[in-house]
Chains A and B, each alone.
Chain A
Amino acid sequence: MSNLIAVTKPVLPLLFVLLSNTAGSRVLVRWTQDIVPSAKRLGVTELVVPWEPGRLPLFRIAVNQGYHVYAETGVREASAAADSAAKTGIAGVVVSPGDEPLSSLDDTIRRLRTTYPKVAFLLANPNAIQPEMKGTLVINRDGILQVTSPTAQPWVDTNLALVRLEQAFRPAQVPLYSFRWNLTGAAQQQGPDVPDYALAVAEAAAFGADLILALHQNLEGGLAHDDSKAWATWDQVKQYVRFFPAQRRHLVPEANVAVITAEDPASFEPINLLARHNIGVRVLKPNLFNEFNLQHFDVAVVLSTPTKTGMQTISHFAGRGGTVVLVNANNVSYPWHSARPLRTSNASVSYSIGKGRIIELSEPIADPETFAQDVRRLIENKDIRMSLWNALTTIAVLYRGMDTGDKIVELLNYAEDPLEVQIRVKGAYSSVRYETPEHDCCETLKPVIRDGFTEFLVPSVYIAGRVHLKGKVNPPTPANK
């Protein structure tokens, strides 16, 4: 019995973390028109309709057209919407927090779920951004303000950090988010292009999140009124909806870096920049910060003030070879201060502990871009799960099959322009196949296995693509050499 407890205790948090990261990928189309095309024709099964009591007929029409319909409300109207759910047959209620912080609504959502056990309540994060490759132009009402910058590196607006934070802080629900389109000039009238819709759909799915997709009024109106041009546009977007299976619970995202943080807005940019540099990140809440949950990571970035237990975890993690970056370290005496400090810069001190080290940064992260590159250098090349080249506009997420050990790389190209990308994945795999929404599965890629890594060239990533690595080859043992 005592053994069972000893085993169960550490396993439970791990299972919790693993399950919290299982993948979603539903597209919920926000619908406002009185006419609703059939679910079969639209190619999605879920609609989100802004809640108004006068819209009950629209909810019924949508249900009859074959959709799971969600009423979208603020917190105050959530109960009223739930009361109507039984009458109209709607599947659930999407609660948008408005101006309130998401963290303040967790208890409210829990209460609603208890009160209305038959109604699904989903909390939508409205703070997502349109995924896109950004320029540096700032176009506002007063005209255009161009800002010069020292580097020509492209900036990518991605929701990966938001998804990772949601997975950590709202593990009971697959991350669900919405965003507003960022359109300027003629595009405001015309609406987003097909690649823009496609990227939004692909991004959420690749990250394991659900998306509430707002259609431009021209497209939504065109679909409602059977306009052939609108349907031609949407049929192309549908390719991307179809490309991502709805549930992929057997996949676990791989990561080199654990970021330990409370739900603090200041944590967002460092995680965002780590994600943009394709450094695999998992976010851990401070109460899950323990040695067991860190065992598969190489670097731990501690953004929250560590508790006494947290300090022990830091020491143990470094002792067995990990690297800890403690940000905004205050002047208290940490257990590792008995080791000899090495001042590495004005703001950083390093302590060698066992096989690893602890780096204390005395300040908050002022330059997240440099910080991300620094963290990348802390991971030894032999440990990096995945590296990309020629991929400044590409975000890649590496998944491991829980049962098989096979790997999947989901690729997104925010430039929306075909790009050849070189990839290196840790582990030796004999079979590498590539599929895209535009082409049937799968193109066989030629892997080069070198030093325990599989290297391959993806010939063209337009918006999204998926690489399957199978047939893991065990490295030769010394006896076999």
Chain B
Amino acid sequence: MRWSKRLISSLVLSVLAAALADSQSLTLVHKKKYVMGTVFEVVAYHDSPTHASNAIDEAFQEIARLDSIMSNYKSDSDLSRLNRTAHFHAESVSPDLYRVIETSLRYSKLSDGEFDITVGPLVNFWKSVIRGERSRSPGDEANLRKCVGYNKIVLLPPDRIEFRCPSLQIDLGAIGKGYAVDRVVAILRSHGISKALVNAGGSTIYGMGFPPGESAWRVRLRDPSGKNNPEVLLSENSVSTSEQTASSLFGDNQAGHIIDPQNGEPVKTAIAVTVLAQTATDSDALSTTLLLLGPQKGSAVVKGISEAAAIWIAPSGQVETASSGPRISFVREGHPQIARERKADK
């Protein structure tokens, strides 16, 4: 017995020593690239910085490839072509585009239409209003609203898509970056990288493994009140944040980039929503969905998804949370505390 305790102790020490030696040999490589209209960043630990750097470069190439498929800014992208030609006519698309649209429709059904990739024309309309390039026109808005509705998209497996409305346009801004993050994670894994953080402009972040000497990647969450200091520990999961564009200080413009598909107008809320999920595609899509649904309806959605959690924070500091597993903690005077869930959810 005494002997076996010694054995176990020495084994534990050996493992710890090996882990320490391992962590000491790891070098941090940090790279970033502007693509998909945002800054993608990867931090990876590896014993060969060159290997890690090459793997990250390959992952960045993959994002550029996905951008050439899913961009609605580039006129020659697969999505732009689909937006031009799929009205009452089924078009074949790439597997990536089919998969993202299929996932989007799943979230549309799950949220009863609150998440909707057909709001694209309205998003563009309101973006140009924000920039001051055009003014609000109820007539224009009404025209653009006519073809909003996910149920006007028809999937014809394995790779064809048809639009059942003449001016329907898809915008993948609420899910595309999440999908790209998942592809980056897959590529890094295929190169033997197991400790990395993949960040799409701060709005979607995936933690692979954990950094040396830590048990997870620490991520501070967006808090419009500045009172709560919420954070999560990421390891093999993803976090995304959504928040409506801030209102004009001069009160002359209430536009925003997140559109409510139910009324075609920018959603009027100053709440920030952060979502934890197992994949970046899921957290990205869920964050917009839960911003539109609000905490009451959103909690039920979160509980229906495996290993998901969400936190809604108002500018006043009021917090609502929901979870089917992961925890969100608050840092108070340096000590993390676990967030309480909505009473209604218990």
Contacts and interface: CB of A to CB of B under 8 A. Distances in A.
Tell me whether A and B are bound partners.
Answer: yes
A320 interface: no
Most buried by A among B29, B39, B220, B240: B39
A145 B32 contact: no
A134 interface: yes
Contacts, number: 164
A interface SS class? mixed
A151 interface: yes
A143 B214 CA distance: 9
Interface of A: 133-137, 139, 143-155, 184-187, 325, 343-348, 350, 359, 361, 365, 367, 369-371, 373-374, 376-379, 381, 390, 392-393, 415, 417, 419
Contact of A143 (B33, B39, B211): B211
B86 interface: no
B39 A148 contact: no
Contact of A137 (B33, B133, B199): B199
B34 A376 contact: no
23 contacts: A133-B34, A136-B202, A137-B197, A144-B211, A148-B202, A148-B220, A149-B222, A150-B272, A151-B257, A153-B38, A154-B38, A185-B30, A186-B27, A345-B247, A346-B251, A350-B250, A361-B250, A370-B248, A373-B248, A377-B131, A377-B132, A377-B248, A390-B73
Contacts of B41: 135-137
Given A144-B218, A374-B248, A392-B34, 16 more contacts: A143-B214, A148-B202, A148-B220, A148-B239, A148-B240, A149-B202, A149-B203, A150-B242, A152-B200, A154-B34, A186-B29, A367-B249, A370-B247, A377-B248, A377-B253, A415-B34
Most buried by A among B43, B197, B244: B43
A379 B252 CA distance: 13
A186 B45 CA distance: 10
Interface string B216-244: 01111110000000000000000111111
Contacts of A187: 30
B271 to A, nearest CB: 10
A155 B73 CA distance: 20
Interface string B22-66: 000001111011101111010100000100010000000000000
A347 B249 CA distance: 7
A422 to B, nearest CB: 11
B276 to A, nearest CB: 11
B326 to A, nearest CB: 15
Chain B, interface size category, equals: 35 or more
Contacts of A153: 38, 201
Given A145-B218, A148-B222, A392 B248 contact: no
A437 B34 CA distance: 21
Contacts of A135: 32, 39, 41, 199, 202
Nearest to B133: A381
B130 interface: yes
B250 A344 contact: yes
A393 B34 CA distance: 8
Nearest to A185: B28
